[in-house]
Amino acid sequence: MKRWMLGIAAALLMCGGASAQEPFTFAGKTITMIIGYAPGGGTDTAGRLIAQFLAKHLPGTPNIIVENRPGADGVTAMNYFYQQVKPDGMTITQGSSTQGDPVVYKQPQVKYDPTKLEFIGGIGRGGSTVVIRKDAEERLYDKSKPPVNMGAVGGQPRSGMQTTAWGIEILGWNAKWVLGYPGTNDLFVALERGEIDMTASSNLFQVAKLLEGGKVKVLTQTGILENGKFSPRSEFADVPVFPNQVEGRVKDPVQEQGYQYWFALVLLDKWLALPPGTPQPIVAMYREAFLKMAKDPEFQEKGRKMSQDFDTQAGEDVGKLIKTLGQTSPEAFEYIRGMMKRQGIGG
């Protein structure tokens, strides 16, 4: 009797094994996309666009519904997603750079670790460009002359504008900060008038319009991340890419960590992920579907309407950016604060 029962159990296991080899499909199923921000914002807009097109490329073309869970700048939703969602492929999340920043998620009230998520892909805005008046460029490399005036919004330069901070620190640029402008349009007007000599922007339309006057050029760009490599934007194919300019110039390991943190945060924008522990075959299906979606002409067209600066990133690349951010040490953050203070920014 015992032997007979063991035989039945073995047969059932074999059947189960055969069943597990059958192709997985989402046919007839509904996937939930969790977004930690209110409807209408940038993360929500990107998520809803992805939800519209990703389903077409998943096996079985499932439905994807969006569930907004705003609160604590994305922390509420990520705590829920990380702790309570089953890793069965039926729930995904659309995240933001803020949710991937260790300055945010290493706080006591945060219960998630983004480095352990399974990343499907991401959407970036193509990095940032630094523009400079042509008549001021020579002074940027000559400290015997008056420094170039770098204009910035508010009292703390945005991440893209901090390219200049690292240019001063690593490349020895002869520049000083002029802070307090209300917005990018004000900076560009000041640049055209000669009130400032240099600024930064990720808005292609604004930069292209500025270049038409002939007084300004693109000095450098942070570029885009493609297959683990940094490349120039197609619109600025001949403009140097900043990480290539600083390569080999960073010697101190703490400085290197600080620089890598900043640069990863510049490149990271909107990302799509599955919970930790999701089976790898399901992760692979999502990543393949995301890459197919990225090539969809209609998706690209609608993405450009959402933002002129619209580039997709592979899941592996997003994972590397998140990992880089997560490895940043307290000493590196202290280095960044010290660097900005030396340049007259912060207390």
State the pLDDT at residue 14: 37
Residue 190: is its pLDDT beyond 90? yes
Domains parsed from the chain with CATH numbers: 28-125+269-309 (3.40.190.150), 129-253+331-342 (3.40.190.10)
Could you read off the pLDDT of 301-335 as tens digits, one per residue? 888 777 656 788 999 999 999 999 999 999 999 99
Burial class (CB in 10 A: 0-12, 13-18, 19+), 307: buried
Q: Which pLDDT band holds residue 154 (cuts at 50, 70, 90)?
A: confident
State the pLDDT at residue 70: 95
State the pLDDT at residue 125: 66
Q: Which pLDDT band holds residue 15 (cuts at 50, 70, 90)?
A: very low
Q: What percent of the chain has pLDDT over 90?
A: 70
DSSP lists the bridge partners of residue 216 as: 133
State the pLDDT at residue 10: 39
- Specify the pairing of strand 270-274 against strand 129-133: unpaired
Torsion of the alpha carbons at 136, 141, 146 and 152, rounded to the nearest 10: 60
φ, ψ for residue 255, nearest 5 deg:
-60, -40
Residue 50: is its pLDDT beyond 60? yes
Q: Which helix (H) or strand (E) holds 206?
A: helix 204-211
State the pLDDT at residue 338: 96
Burial class (CB in 10 A: 0-12, 13-18, 19+), 341: exposed
Residue 88: is its pLDDT beyond 70? yes
**CA distances for 203 relative to 25, 60, 128, 209, 299, angstroms:** 40, 38, 8, 10, 20
- Specify the pairing of strand 198-201 against strand 175-181: unpaired
- Tell me the residue length of the chain: 347
Question: According to the 3-state scheme, what is the secondary structure of 247-265?
Answer: CCCCCCHHHHHHHHHHHHH
327, two tokens: 């490895």
**Which is more confident, 21 or 335?**
335
Q: Which pLDDT band holds residue 126 (cuts at 50, 70, 90)?
A: low
**Which is more confident, 272 or 205?**
272
Could you read off the pLDDT of 191-243 as tens digits, one per residue? 999 999 999 987 777 888 889 989 999 999 988 766 667 778 878 889 999 99
Measured CA to CA, the distance from residue 200 to residue 158 in angstroms comes to 9
Residue 12: is its pLDDT beyond 70? no
Residue 266: is its pLDDT beyond 90? no
CB 149 within 8 A of CB 119: no
State the pLDDT at residue 112: 97
4, two tokens: 């007979």
Residue with tokens 């989402």: 26
pTM of the model: 0.84
